[in-house]
Amino acid sequence: MVYSGKVGVVTGKDLVDLMDDARARGYAIPAVNCTSSSTANCVLEAAAKASSPVIIQVSNGGGSFLTGKGVKTPGADAAGSVALAMHVRSVASWYGVPVVLHSDHCAKKLLPWFDGMCEANEDYFGKYGEPLFSSHMLDLSEEPDDENIAICVEYHKRLSKMNIWLEMEIGITGGEEDGVNNEDVDPDKLYTTPEQVWAVYRELSMVSDQFTIAAAFGNVHGVYKGDIDLKPSILKDAQGFIGDKLMEDGLIRAAGGTRAPEKPVNFVFHGGSGSDLTDIREALDYGVVKMNIDTDTQWSYWSGVSEHQQEFGDFLQQQVGNPTGADSPNKKYYDPRAWVRRAEKKTVERLGKAFEDLRCQNILGLPPVGEPTNTFGPRRGGLPV
Ligand SMILES: [Zn+2]
């Protein structure tokens, strides 16, 4: 493994090495949406347990929530996203694992948010010689491809000056997330073609190799009843198509020339909640290096609170007085550190399964683990696996 061993927030060359390692060894790094210091700490704790790298990401809605829903001023979304980044930068190294700081979907109308984070990066870069965030996502998949790619190229240039990665989306992830509703989208758009991925790869790699592509292969955000039809082979086809193009064009420039032409693209898996483990593993084999997790950890966090309420319900009805006595105080049951910690523990446990599913365990050189046996909960509309 080429990785330098740096722990805490990683950017630039360290991130290149992590992505190359993931693609070469067929694992993906879990990318978990965080909306608070508590949820971010869950992710760090789970990564430490898995002895593996992790990606902490913030959505636009998450950024606004972090500033506080009481603030309506434009720019609050970027401020909150920066706040999460600063929190993670402050504590990440205490967990002893590499942490990638990333922002999630940014549609065209949200570009001011993206610009705000770019400015924070430029400011940080000026002071410390590295960016605040490791990576950002632009999602212009609802725009025509030409426009999507052109805007991505412009931002890729701006980010590359600071060695920041760009994730982009081509083809559409179905479902609903963070206020963006793609539930009624044209089904054809849920499957990206190799030609589309090549168009992106060709243009972005002219600027820098530090990018990932969220290609659609039938993915859907959220967990739904009913069938979804994931086709990970779309990723395999795209890898083959682009590998051939690179050979033809003599354009093997990716990752300093070390990127194998048979698997040149770093793919991202969106909308993985409820997916069949077989599909997930197949996607990893085809170059998925990052998989997003949001819905399942939203559920685990809530489950922890719910369990606390069920277990200690009699101690949570009033400040003083419970089954052990009318004068007994209940402070230790309603202190947020009791019930929030319960939410955290459930989430750390759930993320343990995600690390296992994604083959992202003991990446940092500790002993290998046994054969994974679990999946991301019941498949949509199917029986629990
Ligand atoms: Zn997504």
Nearest Cα neighbor of 274 from 224, 216, 218 is 224
Q: Kindly give the distance from the C-alpha atom of residue 105 to the centroid of ligand 1, in angstroms, as a whole number.
A: 6
Residues bordering ligand 1, an ion, CB closer than 5 Å: 270
Confidence at 248, pLDDT banded by 50, 70, 90: confident
Q: Kindly give the distance from the C-alpha atom of residue 175 to the centroid of ligand 1, in angstroms, as a whole number.
A: 10
Amino acid at the residue 122: E
pLDDT in tens, 268-309: 999 888 889 999 999 999 999 999 999 999 999 999 999 999
Distance CA 241, CA 270 (A): 22
Q: In this predicted structure, what is the pLDDT of residue 228?
A: 67
Q: What is the pTM of this model?
A: 0.90
Which of 4-8, 43-47, 119-123, 371-375 is least confident?
A: 371-375
Q: Kindly give the distance from the C-alpha atom of residue 235 to the centroid of ligand 1, in angstroms, as a whole number.
A: 17
Q: Kindly give the distance from the C-alpha atom of residue 271 to the centroid of ligand 1, in angstroms, as a whole number.
A: 6
pLDDT for 1 beyond 70? no
The answer to whether 377 and 357 have CB atoms below 8 angstroms apart is no
Q: Which residues are catalytic?
A: 104
Q: In this predicted structure, what is the pLDDT of residue 251?
A: 55
Q: Kindly give the distance from the C-alpha atom of residue 314 to the centroid of ligand 1, in angstroms, as a whole number.
A: 40
pLDDT in tens, 130-167: 999 999 999 999 999 999 999 999 999 999 999 999 99
pLDDT for 331 beyond 90? yes
Tokens of 11: 């950017």
**pLDDT (mean) for 24-53:** 97
User: Average per-residue pLDDT in the chain?
Assistant: 89
Query: CATH number of the domain at 8-295, please?
Result: 3.20.20.70
